Amino acid sequence: MRMDNRSWPQASAGSTNGIVLQGEKVNVLIAHADAIVSAGLAALLGTHSDLQITVAGADQATAPVNADVLILDHRNGLEHMRRSAAAHHGDNQPPRVLIVTQLEREWEVRTAMMAGVHGYLLQHSDTEQLLTAVRTLSRGMRYLSPELSRCVADSFTRIGLTSRETDVLQLLAQGQCNKSIARELGIGVGTVKTHVKGLFDKLGATARTHAVVLATRRGLVGESYSNQPH
């Protein structure tokens, strides 16, 4: 299944960012917020001779990391990408980030993709998917669970929201008015009204609250992180 390159750009054939040379071990740092998940990941990956596994506390998630692949939960994965985007890495390549999580709604996956994570895997995935994800990231490419690829593709095809409509929808879900949305996105109030009308048409909604309810049912907007699992 082909992902939209604008949402999740693929590494080019000549790219060397994050690529581990053949014969070298892949240094994997696991810093998942759930200690049990971290231990399970380490046990599954630790039996493979091409992988060097290190387990760290969740506080390492946002610290400078010397690893090829960094495995995190959803919340810390997004935070790491935000911090990484603002950091100066010098000659060191930042690690490839793999999120392992229970969160599987389209909005949650899309948020991670847009933040720049390199891989997204569900916690119930089998060992082969986990290995494939880690090794794919170590070669400078990106990985998304097959079932999530289908889910995201189906959602995009069915709803057909533009990137800006998605931005407006997230802010609508936060209860923001048109003026606040315009200020947040740096666009005119009239433009916001146009996007809101487009959302109503595509979602089949008759009011702002109705649009948010329908979008939530379809997994297009997220809930507060304080109420979510990792």
* pLDDT tier for residue 168 given thresholds of 50, 70 and 90: very high
Residues 191 and 85 placed together within one structural domain of the fold? no
Among 109-118, 119-128, 193-202, 221-230, which stretch is predicted with the lowest mean pLDDT?
221-230
| 138 and 102 fall within a common domain | yes
Identify the pLDDT of residue 22.
64
* pLDDT(64) > 70: no
Report yes or no on 72 lying in a domain: yes
Q: Which of residues 204 and 63 earns the better pLDDT score?
A: 204
44 vs 127: CA distance, rounded Å: 7
1 lies in a domain?
A: no
Instruction: Note whether 103 and 58 are same-domain residues.
Output: yes
The four Cα atoms 166, 170, 173, 175 give a dihedral, to 10 degrees, of: -120
- Does residue 5 fall inside a structural domain? no
Q: Are residues 147 and 170 in the same domain?
A: no
* Position 153 confidence tier, pLDDT thresholds 50, 70, 90: low
Mean pLDDT throughout 205-209?
90
Could you say which of 121, 155, 189 is where a domain stops? 155
- The structural domain count of the chain equals 2
**Domain extent at residue 196:** 160-227
Question: How many CB atoms lie under 10 A from the CB of residue 150?
Answer: 12
CATH of the domain at 146: 3.40.50.2300
Whether 2 has a pLDDT exceeding 70, the answer reads: no
Question: What's the count of helices (H) and strands (E) in the chain, helices before strands?
Answer: 9, 6
Residues 121 and 184 in one domain: no
Domain finish residue from 107, 125, 155: 155
Are residue 119 and residue 72 in the same domain, yes or no? yes
Tell me the percentage of the chain whose pLDDT exceeds 90.
46
Tokens 């998304």 label which residue? 144
- Do residue 57 and residue 144 come from a single domain? yes
- 107-120, pLDDT tens digit by residue? 788 788 878 899 99
Mean pLDDT, residues 36-54 taken together: 95
Same domain, 48 and 130: yes
Residues facing 119 on adjacent strands: 98, 143
**How large is the average pLDDT for residues 34-51?**
95
Q: Report the distance separating Cα 162 and Cα 149, nearest Å.
A: 18
User: Is 54 found in the same domain as 145?
Assistant: yes
In a shared domain, residues 123 and 64: yes
- Domain stops at, among 155, 188, 215: 155
Provide the whole-model pTM. Answer: 0.64
Asked whether the predicted pLDDT for residue 97 surpasses 70, the reply is yes
Average pLDDT over residues 156-168: 76
Beta carbons within 8 Å of 35's beta carbon, 6+ residues apart? none
Say yes or no: 39 and 85 in one domain: yes
| Burial (Cβ within 10 Å: 0-12, 13-18, ≥19) of residue 12 | exposed
What pLDDT was estimated at residue 60? 64
Q: In terms of Cα–Cα distance, which of 66, 77, 12, 51 is closest to 135?
A: 51
